[in-house]
Structure 1
Amino acid sequence: MKKIYIISLMLLCLTGRDYLLAQSDTTQAQNQKMIQEFSFVPLPVLAANPAVGFMFGVAPSASWLMGSEQTTHRSSAVSTVLYTTKSQFMVFIKSNIFLKDDSWNLMGDWRYFVFSQPTYGLGTGSQSAKLASNGFEYDDGSYSKGIKEAQMIEFNYFRFYESALKRIGDTRFFTGIGYHLDHHSKIKDKLLDLDTVPPVITSHYAYSLDNGFDTDGYTLSGVSVNGLYDSRDNPINPYSGRYAFISFHINPEFLGSDKNSTTLWVEYRDYFSMSKTRPRNLLGLWLFGNFVTSGELPYLDLPAIGWDQFGRSGRAYAQGRFRGENLTYAELEYRFPLQKDKDKFGAVIFANASTASNKEANIDLFENIDPAAGVGLRFMIDKKARTNITLDYGWGKYGAQGFYLNVNETF
């Protein structure tokens, strides 16, 4: 029965999306104009890190107009197909679509992963306190059986998020609903060992048992009520404007969730000009909070850095490095051109901070804050769309550091 509900809701989202898109294609002239404004970047990917080994694939992105550029914001979509030497496979498509005259804003996030990554327990701050609360023995800097703070976990993951927001009159306010599905399967805790005395328990295993979730897999399925204010001049690479988004998720068992729960996402972005003559010289601010407001979520669905729609939060740290029942995040980025009269090359300096809670270890939100900072280069490949290829390097606590190659700005 759960599968029937989930499949029906997915089909409704997809057919509704097609209907809205069809309604926007009113004339042949508009279609031709949209084609002329289409921009496509077939970015190849070749990288390496200890968690995944060597990775290779493609990360194409596109931007286009669904109406007049005077009344319609640019739509964008980024996608990735990656394979790694550790037999990981990742596919995702993430989209932000504005229909003619910005009458509707459609937001999509579709993913399929055959994946593995380390987890680090819940909360921010002292790793020994977090892990000891979840069954680890801590003695002179070493956990039982030599386990450090990283706990490798393998899983298959399918995500289907789709939201449709209707513009309210001539304002920049939008409101609407969405459907959201997260399904984890074939979960394997690589460090779990129940046959030793005492047994070696991972954070994922302990949390799942304490909160009544199957340790092998689980489903989170629900609907959302959303409100959005977006006055940015260009969502791909803003020079001015503000963005505020609030989303309340309701995840009932009758829609397929393993347990009833509700969550709240609040987000704010702002852009402050640092030069009247060079709009690319600016200071960007990004804030968000993700909170479990009732019930319990499965471990891998708890709020975590790097799991926002475009996966850009927490530069310097691994995806999911900080996770908890509640999480807040802040980032400040200074963006500036490197050429006196041109915008082809640019650079950024950024700093971010994360804080997450852990009820079992009595770690409250804002009790511990983990910061990071870094620098980056920008290469503008489409001046009209302001499409940038971005290369960033960040440094954080606990020896964390990372290199990031993307298309479009982080926020």
Structure 2
Amino acid sequence: MKKILTVFLVLIFTQVLLGQEQKLYKPNQIREFKLVPLPAIGSNPANGWLFGLAPSATWRMGDPENTHLSNIVGNFLYTTKKQWIFSSRSNVFLSEDKWILVGDWRYFITSQPTFGLGSSTPNEPVENPNQPGVLWGEQQMDYSWIRFYETALKKIGDSKFYLGVGYHLDVFSKIENFLDLETPPSELNYSHDFYNSQFGFDQDKYTLSGITFNGVMENRDVAVSPYEKNFALISYKVNPSFLGSDKSSSTLLLDYRHYFNLSEKRKRHLIALWGLGNFLVSGDLPYMNLPSIGYDMFGRSGRGYAQGRFRGESMLYSEAEYRFPLQKNKETFGGTLFFNTSSFGSKMTNEKLLEKINVAYGIGFRVIINKENRTTISADYGFGSKGNSGFYLNVNESF
């Protein structure tokens, strides 16, 4: 843990020095820098209400004609569920978009319910009919989580396509399971502990460390709040034990997003589509590293459910959102209607992908607080199946 924190601090210090050096010696390369030190108030079912700071910055590393806006969003938050959340997520476009640097750094002291594997898990904790002696349904977990993801992507010629590699590290530790019930079921194994024992992982700490090979098509006009065009990602991740993973494995992530304008004059009037697939290809993953709803980079998938509500070795997710302005001649206020579906497969519970599909839908409200870089406050309420629902207050569009 000390080694990981040391590397983390060195990387932060290095980036600060590089940023200072660029400002001192190459001021013409950084343009339109805007820092918004927002006080943060957010909400979602997994964390409750969140309070703290959520500073965000946008800037341009080259000519506006051929260089996208770069952005970084930080979170320094405390929640009503007694969680601490520190994170930094960034998309940096170098001059002429020749390189993209994507970062996702996190340190959480947090908690979250887990419900077992597959798409058919119930809300209340009961014995799994397919796994006698194992709990199914809501089980609380306390844990700490360190994540360090960093990816470098190189543009291919004059196209919109990029190829690159990245390093990904997840460390889950201090894991404790419990049931928030006055009379919990006795002599039943927690889903997390049973799964890890079956596949040879520790119950209270595990590490996933790997290299990703990535292909990206970046064609959105503004990455944080797009009005048009599309984005695609294919990422193959190899997690060898010699890099620190508890067991060797590999996964495949597919992500596609498309934005259809419904009005040339009001480009904010659009339909947005999102498709996501995440699959275990080989080996075994620790429980918390399995594909799960709400575990995309910004935690925006699955509105209508709590983060981690569904989990399995394979995942398919889709979402459609109708976005529209609420003012006749201004763009400050907007609204959304959304609908999403998800399905999870698990070899442990013998549930096949698409055997069960969970749906959710909802409505949202948008306020643009910076028109130039489209920084947006988003508030959504989603309704899922089985009585699940949730309120979500975030910065920028969901996808």
Within 5 Å, give how 1:1-400 maps onto structure 2: 28-31=26-29, 34=31, 37-46=32-41, 52=47, 55-127=50-122, 131-136=128-133, 149-191=137-179, 199-400=187-388
Structure 2 unpaired stretches of 5+: none
Task: Classify 1:62/1:16 alpha carbon distance in 2 versus 1 (closer, same or farther; 3 Å).
Answer: closer
Q: In the TM superposition, what is the alpha-carbon distance from 1:136 to its structure 2 partner?
A: 4.5
Provide the C-alpha distance between the structure 1 equivalents of 2:48 and 2:252, rounded to a whole number of angstroms. Answer: 35
CA distance in 2 between partners of 1:108 and 1:367 (Å):
35
Quickly say closer, same or farther: Cα 1:168–1:117, change in 2 above 3 A.
same
Distance 1:311 1:48, change over 3 A: closer
| Separation (CA, whole Å) in 1 of partners of 2:126 and 2:282 | 25
Would the aligned equivalents of 1:155 and 1:185 in 2 still touch at CA under 8 Å?
yes
1:311 is aligned with what amino acid?
Answer: G
- The percent of aligned pairs where both chains have the same amino acid is 48
Shift of 1:61: 1.8
- Normalized against structure 1, the TM-score is what? 0.88
Q: CA deviation at 1:118?
A: 0.4
Tell me: CA distance 1:178–1:51, structure 2 relative to 1, closer, same or farther (3 Å).
closer
What do the CA deviations read for 1:266-297 (whole angstroms, capped 9, x no partner)?
Answer: 11000111112211110001111110000000
1:38 is paired with a residue whose SS is: strand
Q: Distance in 2 between matches of 1:20 and 1:190?
A: 45
| Alpha-carbon distance, 1:49 to partner | 7.1
In the alignment, residue 391 of structure 2 is paired with which amino acid? F
Structure 1 stretches of 5 or more lacking a match?
138-142
Measure how far apart 1:3 and its partner are.
8.8
The alignment partner of 2:28 has SS state of: helix
**Root mean square deviation, CA, Å:** 2.9
Task: Specify whether residues 23 and 49 from structure 1 end up closer, same or farther in structure 2 by C-alpha distance, changes over 3 A only.
Answer: closer
Decide whether the 8 Å contact of 1:240 with 1:270 is kept in 2: yes
**1:342 CA displacement:** 1.1
1:328-370 Cα offsets, whole Å, 9 max, x none, are 1111011111111111111111111111112122111111110
Q: Distance in 1 between matches of 2:258 and 2:81?
A: 39
Question: Which residue identity does 1:350 align to in structure 2?
Answer: F
Provide the C-alpha distance between the structure 1 equivalents of 2:220 and 2:24, rounded to a whole number of angstroms: 26
2: distance between equivalents of 1:67 and 1:197?
61
Corresponding position of 1:140 = none
